[in-house]
Amino acid sequence: MAADNEISAIYYIQHHLQNLTFGRHPENGWSLASTSAEATEMGFWAIHLDTMGWSIAMGVLFLGLFHKAGRMATTGVPGGLQNAVEMVIEFIENLTRSTFHGKNPHIAPIALTLFMWILLMNSLKILPVDYLPELFGRLGFEYMKIVPTTDVNATLGMALGVFCLIVFYSIKVKGAGGFAKELSLTPFNHWLLIPFNLILEIVGLIVKPISLALRLFGNMFAGEVIFILIALLPFWAIWLLDVPWAIFHILVVSLQAFIFTTLSIVYLSAAHEHH
């Protein structure tokens, strides 16, 4: 009986941590993965429908709300939505002004997109872990992991976007030659040490997005696992741990969004600086 419980607990956890994967299976062709093993066998040519769906939904929600606020924006007394939106915008503007030491009007909107998108995706975590998976289970979807930031693909995808921006602005501001010079001649300005410099700088460059992605992913994934473990408790005990953890996560959710955004601005600021 104890072993049964253990097996079902392990199954429950694994089930909750599996994404809804659509991809090309070596045997079944293009199909939805019905087990974790099948999803793994699909390799790179697969896509997590739940991650993509929920993240795009959150992004559209963010842009929709802000676009609506922007269309109705008045210079007079703002309404409730406009007030909230302006609060966020001012917060991001101040953050950008204090962190970014260059002249680029696009940095603030980039930071706003990152912050709001990550915040909304992380916020999905406050929803009880069983509600939406159960609902989608009834609709015939085997797996449903609703928090996109607990999927390393999502965080790494965004970090990759930031990485592209870093490279793009480095080349735009310093020119391809300047960027190459920076990679090869710092920190040791001697032609003999070019290979060493290159290794150092390229590792430093690549570590930036990876650290961004793994920090966000690690925090969100760990929090999710704790939520799932709490959900395994007897039903009358769940709230005792679940409520404090959820309240704590209100902090974590916004803090992680803030950290990702701030570090991205710092990296982009560094990309604008001449050495």
Partner 1 sequence: MNINMTLIGQTIAFAIFVWFCIKYVWPPISSALHERQKKIADGLDAASRASRDLELAQEQAAQTLRETKEQASQILDQANKRSSQMIEEAREQARAEGERLVAGARAEIDQEINRAKEELRAQVASLAIVGAERVLEASIDEKAHRKLLDKLAAEL
Pattern of binders to partner 1 over 205-244, x per CB under 8 A? ----------------------------------------
Token representation of residue 209: 């997005």
Contact 209, 159 (CB under 8 A): yes
Q: How far is the CB of 36 from partner 1 (least distance, A)?
A: 9
Neighbour-count burial of 77, counting CB atoms closer than 10 A to its CB (0-12 exposed, 13-18 middle, 19+ buried): exposed
Of these residues, 28, 31, 104, 215, which one is catalytic?
A: 215
Q: Does residue 74 interact with partner 1 by CB under 8 A? A: yes
Enter the DSSP assignment of 213: H
Alpha carbon 172 to chain centroid distance? 26
β partners of residue 191: none
Q: Catalytic site residue 184?
A: no
Stretch that binds partner 1, among 7-15, 49-57, 182-190, 191-199 (CB under 8 A): 49-57
Told to check if 166 binds partner 1 by CB under 8 A, we report no
In the residue annotation, 211 being an active-site residue is answered as: yes
Please report, as a single letter, which amino acid is at residue 108: A
Q: Residues binding partner 1: what is the number (CB under 8 A)?
A: 53
N-to-C CA span, the chain:
66
Taken in order 75, 79, 83, 84, the sign of the CA dihedral is: negative
Site mask for partner 1 (CB under 8 A), range 112-141, x = bound: xx---x------------------------
Task: For tokens 């993965």, name the residue.
Answer: 33
Beta strands in 53-163 (DSSP E): none
Phi-psi group of 56: left, alpha or beta (phi > 0 → left; psi -120 to 50 → alpha; rest → beta): alpha
**Smallest separation (angstroms) from partner 1 to the CB of 258:** 18
Question: Is 71 labeled as catalytic in the residue annotation?
Answer: no
Minimum Å distance from CB 65 to partner 1? 9
* Cα–Cα dist 237/255, whole Å: 28
CB closer to partner 1, 86 vs 182: 86
Binding site for partner 1 (CB under 8 A): 19, 21, 23, 39-40, 42-48, 51-52, 55-56, 59, 62-63, 66-67, 69-71, 73-76, 78, 82, 85-86, 89-90, 93, 106, 108-110, 112-113, 117, 148, 151-154, 156-158, 160-161, 164
Catalytic (active-site) positions: 211, 215, 219
